Structure 1
Amino acid sequence: MQPSPRDVIAAARAGLGGVPRVRLGVRQEGRRILGFGRALRIVPVGEAWHLGVLLIGDDEVYATGEILRARAEAIRGYTAESQRARSERAAAAVRGGFAEGEAVHLDWSPVDLDAVAAGGSSGPLSLDDGVVTVAFAAGARMPLAAYLDDRIALLP
């Protein structure tokens, strides 16, 4: 009998004891004060271990979203509007309380381990022929336990 998704994640958590975590952030629209709007901020809401396409928290598992480095706002020239928007999000992270240079995880989404155990899928995880698998790198799939073992082995 194959281990359940919760068992696989619990085994990974046990192997991550001394490994540093990354912080998760969410966008917080600025409140209006005296009719003037405040700039967007990205505020911290939790911590998790980053293992490729997964973020593993104390109680939850998330699919990785956008990752950026917090940095102070500065006037820069951009060749693409997407670069400008990314720079604005990096500055919003500093305004929200992240240290300059700190990795910020945005747009992560919860993974429902019970749905996967019941034979469905959630985020990058699914149950294929009784084995919990994870989709990574252009849709390649491998067993979740082996994926997490590989990722943990790569950590410093």
Structure 2
Amino acid sequence: MRDDAAQLFERARLRLAAAPREALGEIAEPSGLRRVLGVGPRIVRAGSAWRVGSLLIGDDVVHEAGEVLRATDPGRRGYAAESARRRAELRAMALRGGFAEGETVHLGWWPLDLAGLAAGEPTGPLSWQDGRVMIRWTPAGALMPLSAYLDERVGLLLAPPPGA
């Protein structure tokens, strides 16, 4: 018997119903008068999802997570690394886009093709092995059954260990 990924994600959504979601954001470049006035790019809200490990589960779509940041004022302007400067710029872009100070924002996420997966094609970190949907939860990590991964990660989200 083969796993049904759609059913696995639907069961996860039912368990997650009362859990808080996190924002999905997209970079919006200024256009028209905003560009002429020198207004910079911003990150705008593109929905919300539950972060379940390396997956972002929305109402009717599942995304592979990308970059995560918190919307904050960048503060000081001197940075030792270009990557730190870029992260500060992204955090400030999220504030300009209307996210609350400290709000978690996900960027660079992409939808997984669950229809393709049902037809046997891999999508993002999901693939098939011996009739089971498997997930590679880190780029260098081993495969594990999606059902076990969702059970564990949803359980941790709903009842985090003390001190987490």
Counterpart in 1 of 2:83?
82
Contact in 1 for aligned 2:135/2:144 (Cα 8 Å): yes
Counterpart in 2 of 1:94?
95
Counterpart in 2 of 1:68?
69
Give me the whole-angstrom Cα distance separating, in 2, the residues matched to 1:38 and 1:123.
35
Which structure 1 residue ranges, 4+ long, deviate > 3 Å from structure 2? none
CA shift, 1:4, in A, is 0.8
Q: Which moved more, 1:60-69 or 1:34-43?
A: 34-43
- Which whole-Å deviations, capped at 9, do the CAs of 1:100-149 have from their partners, x for residues lacking one? 11110001000011111111111111111211011113232101010000
Counterpart in 2 of 1:147?
149
CA shift, 1:32, in A, is 4.2
Give me the whole-angstrom Cα distance separating, in 1, the residues matched to 2:146 and 2:107.
23
Counterpart in 2 of 1:136?
137
TM-score with structure 1 length normalisation? Answer: 0.95
Q: Which moved more, 1:100-109 or 1:71-80?
A: 71-80
Q: Please, what is the CA RMSD of the aligned residues? A: 1.3
What are the within-5 Å matches in structure 2 for residues 1-156 of structure 1? 1-33=1-33, 35-137=36-138, 138-155=140-157, 156=159
- Which whole-Å deviations, capped at 9, do the CAs of 1:5-60 have from their partners, x for residues lacking one? 10110111111111000010000002242733311100001010000110000000
TM-score with structure 2 length normalisation? Answer: 0.90
Structure with the larger strand share: 1
What secondary structure is seen at the aligned counterpart in 1 of 2:60?
coil
For structure 2, the residue ranges without an aligned partner over 5 or more in a row are: 160-164
AA matched with 2:107? L
Give me the whole-angstrom Cα distance separating, in 2, the residues matched to 1:123 and 1:37.
37
Give me the whole-angstrom Cα distance separating, in 2, the residues matched to 1:125 and 1:75.
41
Give me the whole-angstrom Cα distance separating, in 1, the residues matched to 2:82 and 2:3.
46
- Which whole-Å deviations, capped at 9, do the CAs of 1:59-106 have from their partners, x for residues lacking one? 000000000011024333211001001100000000001111111000
Give me the identity figure in percent.
50
What count of residue pairs does the alignment treat as equivalent? Answer: 156
